[in-house]
Amino acid sequence: MTFDQRVNDLRVRMEVTRVLHEMPKPTLAVIPGPAAGAGLSLAMACDLRISADDAKLTTAFSKVGLSGDFGGSYFLNHLVGAARARDMYFTGRVVSAADALQMGIVHRIAQR
């Protein structure tokens, strides 16, 4: 697969985030466990997010030397504010479900 094909493939996959965010019907993300990188971005694109009580959330991109993708930097900024979003993106900090609720990343926590 050429570089151009890989870039195009990534663009097509990232389109799902926009579709989730712009969908005319409500979207719900259920986070049953860890949500990292693109998985967190996909969840943040939804209208409502419910996580398990033991879920862990992280942007993860800094740990592999990449900038955020799948719309995560846009959504996280809007959910928690620029300073907290930068902290999560720059440090790769892992956030517990309780902290994610307090920060406004998730709306509810479900007990297992």
Examine the pLDDT at 62 and tell me if it is beyond 70. Answer: no
Tell me which residue range forms the domain holding 103.
16-23+30-110
Domain total for the chain? Answer: 1
Percentage above 90 pLDDT, the chain: 53
Which DSSP string corresponds to 47-110?
SEEEEETT-EEE--GGGGT----TTHHHHHHHHH-HHHHHHHHHH---EEHHHHHHHTS-SEEE
Q: For residue 98, tell me if it sits in a domain.
A: yes
pLDDT tens for each residue of 3-25: 777 766 666 666 677 777 788 99
Instruction: Specify the pTM.
Output: 0.80
Residue 8 lies in a domain: no
**pLDDT (tens digit, 9 = 90+) per residue, 87-109?**
998 888 999 999 999 999 999 99
CATH (domain of 43): 3.90.226.10
Residue 4, in any domain of the structure? no
Judge whether 97 lies within some domain.
Answer: yes
Is residue 7 in a domain? no
> What does each C-alpha distance from 65 to 21, 38, 68, 75, 103 come to in angstroms?
26, 14, 10, 20, 25
What local confidence, expressed as pLDDT, does residue 66 receive? Answer: 56
Q: Take residue 30 and report the two structure tokens written for it.
A: 């259920």
